[in-house]
């Protein structure tokens, strides 16, 4: 006898990338930062007063929200702190989406989205990207036809690394009667010369909500801390109605505040990752693993049919190098590779050369 709700019993859960406790494994499968958090984060951790843990944390993570509001030049009321970016996704569905409402996404996209839709009991509409991973010309028309109440666009896209300009996102918001959630988990890795800025859009469009995380650029994937940015009218219902009473703990609030206050340190690491990304892409292309330009901290490359993506993934795993293989349509001939340190990237390239030589 099962006590699960019927939709939960039928669904498959989210499958995260492989984790390993082996120190000598080169982990390039979950888009983590190869560099440590800032010295300010380390100092904040040392200064944690254990006695303070007997009390509940600040409910709204005010110190973090104040720091984030200064960084983005917006008000605290336009920011909500969450337990990772994934909690913000859950809050949006819990707060704004009824059962049987439609959620629309691009395809391919973050594989957690359909799982959250199934949990909520929603309809899920996938709008395929073009063969070159660009948006279809009739995307807005397809979106309107779907009658979606929410559209989620991860920008830069995962797993492709492609970036949509802010002007295009504004066009979607203007034409769409529902809520536009822009998942910007990887936005800090965008080339600064592109002058990408979506936060200014929240002042003009009350149906835009932006997801940010400290997992990637700030090297805090193990902390589980994210935040949402939007009009105060969008933030307030999540903040005061559907959010867990103490959704972020005392330690994570202290470290997250220290991290975002050391924004310059994170940007220096992002610059290093961008440079490594360009070198790795060139190396992969020279080996015949066609890799499109990416604005994220990973590269999606096509593996020659002679060896096959799954075979190469297995070969690298035997060499203690983890990359991400997706057993999905349009992705079975590709691998997604996180940008590691230059030493890790060089080891990866050498291992791929060895595999191709066989």
Domain ranges of the chain: 18-37+264-357, 39-261
Q: Give, rounded to a whole angstrom, the gap between the first and last alpha carbons of the chain.
A: 52
User: What is the pTM assigned to this prediction?
Assistant: 0.96
- Hey, what CATH class is 39-261 in? alpha beta
Closest CA to 102 of 111, 113, 91: 113
Q: What H or E segment, with its residue span, contains residue 342?
A: helix 342-357
Q: What are the φ and ψ backbone dihedral angles of 106, each rounded to 5 degrees?
A: -80, 160
CB atoms within 10 A of CB 279: 14
- Whether 39-261 and 18-37+264-357 are alike in CATH topology: the answer is no
- DSSP of 171-219: HHHHH-SSEEEEE-TTGGGS-GGG----GGGGGT-TTEEEEEESSSTTS
3-state secondary structure of 290: strand
Report H helices in 206-320.
232-237, 250-261, 263-286, 309-318
Per-residue pLDDT of the chain (358 residues; tens, 9 = 90+): 788 988 888 888 888 888 876 778 999 999 999 999 999 999 999 999 999 999 999 999 999 999 999 999 999 999 999 999 999 999 999 999 999 999 999 999 999 999 999 999 999 999 999 999 999 999 999 999 999 999 999 999 999 999 999 999 999 999 999 999 999 999 999 999 999 999 999 999 999 999 999 999 999 999 999 999 999 999 999 999 999 999 999 999 999 999 999 999 999 999 999 999 999 999 999 999 999 899 999 999 999 999 999 999 999 999 999 999 999 999 999 999 999 999 999 999 999 999 999 7
What are the helix and strand counts (H, E) for the chain?
12, 13
CATH hierarchy code of domain 18-37+264-357: 3.90.1150.10
């Amino acid at each position: 006898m099962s006590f699960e709700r019927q939709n939960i019993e039928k669904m498959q859960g989210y499958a995260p990338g492989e984790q390993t406790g082996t120190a000598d494994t080169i982990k390039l499968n979950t888009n983590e930062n190869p560099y440590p958090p800032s010295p300010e984060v380390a100092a904040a951790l040392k200064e944690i007063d254990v006695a303070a843990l007997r009390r509940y944390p600040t409910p709204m993570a005010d110190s973090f929200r104040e720091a984030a509001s200064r960084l983005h030049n917006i008000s605290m009321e336009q920011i909500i702190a969450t337990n990772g970016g994934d909690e913000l996704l859950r809050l949006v569905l819990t707060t704004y989406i009824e059962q049987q409402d439609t959620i629309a996404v691009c395809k391919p996209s973050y594989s957690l989205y359909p799982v959250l839709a199934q949990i909520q009991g929603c309809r899920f509409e996938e709008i395929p990207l073009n063969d070159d991973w660009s948006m279809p010309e009739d995307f807005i028309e397809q979106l309107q036809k779907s009658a979606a109440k929410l559209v989620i666009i991860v920008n830069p896209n995962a797993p492709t690394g492609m970036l949509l300009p802010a002007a295009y996102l504004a066009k979607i918001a203007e034409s769409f009667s529902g809520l536009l959630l822009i998942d910007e988990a990887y936005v800090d890795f965008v080339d600064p010369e592109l002058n990408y800025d979506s936060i200014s859009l929240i002042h003009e469009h009350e149906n835009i909500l932006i997801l940010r995380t400290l997992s990637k650029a700030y090297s805090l994937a193990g902390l589980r801390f994210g935040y949402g940015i939007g009009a105060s009218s969008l933030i307030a219902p999540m903040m005061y109605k559907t959010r867990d009473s103490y959704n972020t703990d005392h330690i994570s609030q202290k470290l997250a505040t220290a991290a975002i206050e050391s924004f310059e340190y994170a940007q220096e690491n992002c610059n290093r990752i961008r440079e490594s990304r360009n070198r790795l892409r060139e190396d992969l292309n020279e080996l015949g693993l066609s890799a499109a330009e990416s604005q994220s901290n990973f590269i999606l490359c096509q593996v020659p049919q002679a060896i096959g993506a799954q075979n190469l993934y297995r070969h690298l795993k035997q060499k203690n190098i983890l990359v991400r293989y997706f057993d999905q349509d349009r992705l079975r001939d590709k691998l997604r590779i996180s940008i590691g340190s230059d030493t890790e990237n060089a080891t990866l390239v050498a291992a791929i050369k060895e595999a191709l030589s066989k």
